[in-house]
Amino acid sequence: MRLPKPVARPVLTAAVAVTAAGSLLLAPHSATADRRAPVREGSAPAHGAAGAPAAAARTAPVTDLAADDRGYPREQVLTADPENPADKSLKLGLVPYHAIAPKLNALQRLGDRVSVEVAGRSAGGHRLYLVTVTAPESARRAREQERMRELIENDPGAAAKDRAVRTAYKTPVFFNSNIHGDEWEGTDAALRLIERLATARDAGTKDLLAHSRLYFDITANPDGRIAGTRENAGGFDLNRDFVTASQPEVRAMRQIEIDKQPAVMLDLHGYVNGTLIEPTTPPHGENYEYDLFLKNTYANALGMEAAVNGLGHTPDKDGVEPAQIPFRDQQEGWDDWPPVFTPQYAAFHGTVAAHTVEIPLTVNGASYDSLPAAELRRRSAVNVDVAGAAMRATLDFVRTHRASLIADQIEVFRRGSAGAAQVPVSARTVPGVPGIGPEDVYTTVFPRAYVVPAGGAQRSATAAARLVDHLIADDVRVTRATRDFRLAGRTYPKGSYVVDLHQPKRGLANALLADGRDISDKVSTMYDISGWSLGRLWGATVERVPGGSLAGVPRTAVRSAAPVGHVAAHGDLRLRLDTPQEIAALNSLLRDGVAVRRSADGSALVPSSARARAVSLARAYDVVFEATKAAGGTPLHAVRVAAAVTPGELFALREMNFDVVPVSTAILDAGFDWSAADVLFVSSGLDHAALAPSARTALDAFLRTHGLVGRGAVGAALNTDAGLLAVRPVEGDGDANGVVRVVNSGGPVTAGAPDHSFVYAPVWFTAPGPGVRVEQSYAPGDPLVSGHWRPSADGTGGPAAAAGRPSVVSGPHVVLFGTEPLFRDHPKGEFSQVGRALLTVS
């Protein structure tokens, strides 16, 4: 289930060329989609590791699962995994991960309806299985299906008139299971359903499979399934990762959404009693075509509700409450505002009925450890029944409504391509859905385009290239200007990127790039984050173009961003430290013993003797080493970071190529060797007062001579308890989150930083004492740009109280952040502030 407050990029190969200006230009090989032969067992599709630790700069090509020109079935023999008696599924009487491959081999042998592909690998290296169930298809028929799928997205006007689309196109349906590893039962329900579909001979099943392709992501999180954890092996909640796709499992799911283009999908979770079936309460995602989404999602929810209640489970007999539909049965608190969740992200790829389904009986957490195995197995059996009923009801819905589902998917893409207005929901526009009111109406005004400018108007060419590659990986269409142009009264240089919002997936493009909205006054609470703008948080300059014509803009479509990495041919070098890639390149230089100095503006000065090494790093990270005549500066040294942080922060630190060792209260109490660290970064899991006396003494001794970087309330508390920087931290509303305006004061930590940041339970600082420097402050007035930030019940802790207050402060060997610059891989443009801080205080 969702919880209110849960707390890689691939290597680019490149060639080197010398420009007319004498710089070394690093040109990557083609990054077009890999349309190679089908995946064979033992290998995995080459999904780009957009968040892999410090390996390279940008998004690599991913396997296009739709590009396979074979027919169906596509059978293969999967090698078995070693038996693992520690698999947490076993205690529940469920299928352990090591038994899935043999099970899929057996299912393929049942006939000609079941196919298995390996869609990728998890963070822990486990295979991600995609099963397709459909009536057999010749290679020619499969190619025709692909032609129609592409027509629906690329030319929806023609698709709406195409008789073959209406009569012969197979409705794609996607079932996603076990994205939270300790919510197991969707996997077992899916395997049972596949077995029934493989062998059933009734007319209904034959009709369904003749007119549908059913896709099953058997376990989206095998690492968590085995370990009994919500997160994957990287410590990430995968159902919060779809905006950034930092994890390989999410990139695999993203590619399934793009390549299979499902009209309907279920994401199977647990545990809410009675079974919770979306659609949701407000606020609703403002960027998708909610009238079409609500119409189909509510209708399918009714069918699932009837099927689940029809199983006969009752509160008295087995502890199961009647199913619930939040849109109908709740006021707020279970929203579909952010596209970080699987179904909400799917809506942008043409899924017009997408649901989170929360099965009822808890078997994880404390229940797993405390309940008898027999009770856990009884509960799991009920949950498998409930998940199976929801899936079967969805297939009935697809059989009955397949024509209108595809018509509505076509309409989603048509509106985007035509730049048509959204249709607000109402009793008239969505008949048959009760209770629609003004509180459900969320629409946006789409701009005509976004421009990511080149040249001097661009804050960071490296950040811009990374953002463009990320958009392309999300199937957003991007073009590049072939010469200078004017648009809406402004002139942009050749090489600028243009994101035309007249495109099929305009909703996703706008959701990623727009500022978002302050929705603090709309509802009292939000389920998860409420602001995430990559246009503001990734460190690239992105211009919103509200209107105008693109007819005169000379441009060409691109499949990847142009390379920006280069090294000046002569003299000493300057490396700006504005992106994670630049920090990673710097750390590599420092580990190699290069004598790098820090300039007053926070950039790195690299001697000409390291040019060859700079060329290699510019290639690996797509960064720029400029020529400089600057002298002096402060010597920099490689730092070893002891980190008491969240998994997302640990991920970000490693992405920036820091040498990191995790610590916590327990680790320090066990006797930590502080000689292994140069600086301590604290945001979570370390309580100074709770330390054993010997551990506290050792920590205090370390902090007297070494650096501290603290983030949030925990980092500020450690600073106070250790008697370091003389400031008073003030905690804002703990539920607040979003994109905020900030004012940077310059200096080595925030010089040249973006004027926006991210907060999650914000903190600010007052009463600065001697030696305290204000590095950054919340903007005056209302600093919140987008998100949800209200004062607490007593009137304190709101954005007005934070306005103008310091958000980042520093002093001798200490930097404290009240913002959250490494949050879940979202604010890429803020990462370097932490990197600079760690290098500054050591």
| pLDDT 10s digits, 75-125 | 999 999 999 999 999 999 999 999 999 999 999 999 999 999 999 999 999
pLDDT class of 64 with cuts at 50, 70, 90: low
Q: How confident is the model over 245-266, as a mean pLDDT? A: 98
Give residue 419's region: left, alpha or beta (phi > 0; psi -120 to 50): left
Identify the three-state secondary structure at position 121: strand
**H or E stretch at 616:** helix 611-621
- The answer for residues whose C-beta is within 8 angstroms of residue 569's C-beta and 6 or more apart is 18, 22, 23, 24
Question: Which of 45 and 526 is assigned the larger pLDDT?
Answer: 526
Percentage of the residues of the chain whose pLDDT score is greater than 90 = 90
The pLDDT, as a whole number, for residue 65 is 59
The yes-or-no verdict on residue 47 having pLDDT over 70 is no
Question: Which of 739 and 35 is assigned the larger pLDDT?
Answer: 739
**H or E stretch at 611:** helix 611-621
**CA 732/CA 778 separation, integer angstroms:** 12
The yes-or-no verdict on residue 2 having pLDDT over 60 is no
Give residue 675's region: left, alpha or beta (phi > 0; psi -120 to 50): alpha
The pLDDT, as a whole number, for residue 39 is 38
pTM above 0.85, yes or no: yes
Tokens of 259: 């390549």
The pLDDT, as a whole number, for residue 20 is 32
The yes-or-no verdict on residue 3 having pLDDT over 90 is no
**CA 575/CA 596 separation, integer angstroms:** 10
pLDDT class of 48 with cuts at 50, 70, 90: very low
- The answer for residues whose C-beta is within 8 angstroms of residue 764's C-beta and 6 or more apart is 729, 730, 732, 778, 801, 802, 805, 806, 807, 818
Q: Domain 566-635, CATH 1.10.3470 — does that match?
A: no
Could you tell me how far CA 413 lies from the centroid of its own chain? 23
| pLDDT 10s digits, 489-519 | 999 999 999 999 999 999 999 999 999 999 9
Taking the CA of residue 280 as centre, how many other CA atoms within 13 Å lie in the half-sphere pointing to its CB?
Answer: 24
Q: How confident is the model over 629-650, as a mean pLDDT? A: 96
Strand partners, 356: 267
Phi, psi (deg, nearest 5) at residue 139: -60, -40
Percentage of the residues of the chain whose pLDDT score is greater than 70 = 92
- Fold classified for 640-731+762-775+800-841: Rossmann fold (3.40.50)
| pLDDT 10s digits, 283-335 | 999 999 999 999 999 999 999 999 999 999 999 999 999 999 999 999 999 99
The pLDDT, as a whole number, for residue 69 is 76
The pLDDT, as a whole number, for residue 747 is 84
CATH class as words, domain 87-418: alpha beta
**CA 510/CA 674 separation, integer angstroms:** 47
| pLDDT 10s digits, 203-231 | 999 999 999 999 999 999 999 999 999 99
Tokens of 742: 């900030």
Domain ranges in the chain are 87-418, 449-557, 566-635, 640-731+762-775+800-841
For residue 42, say if its preceding peptide bond is cis, omega within 30 degrees of 0. no
Whether 681 contacts 35, CB under 8 Å: no
What strand order describes the sheet that includes 604-606? 14-18, 24-28, 566-567, 624-628, 572-575, 604-606, 597-598, 634-635
137 in active site: no
- The answer for residues whose C-beta is within 8 angstroms of residue 200's C-beta and 6 or more apart is none
The pLDDT, as a whole number, for residue 842 is 86
The pLDDT, as a whole number, for residue 810 is 97
| pLDDT 10s digits, 540-589 | 999 999 999 999 999 999 999 999 999 999 999 999 999 999 999 999 99
Q: At what angle do helices 373-418 and 139-154 cross, to 10 degrees?
A: 60
pLDDT class of 793 with cuts at 50, 70, 90: confident
Q: Single out the catalytic residue among 153, 278, 286, 358.
A: 358
Task: Check for a shared fold between 566-635 and 640-731+762-775+800-841.
Answer: no
| Average of per-residue pLDDT values in the chain | 92
Interior angle at CA 465, CA 464 and CA 466, nearest 5: 90
Could you tell me how far CA 418 lies from the centroid of its own chain? 28
Torsion sign (Cα): 406, 409, 411, 413: negative
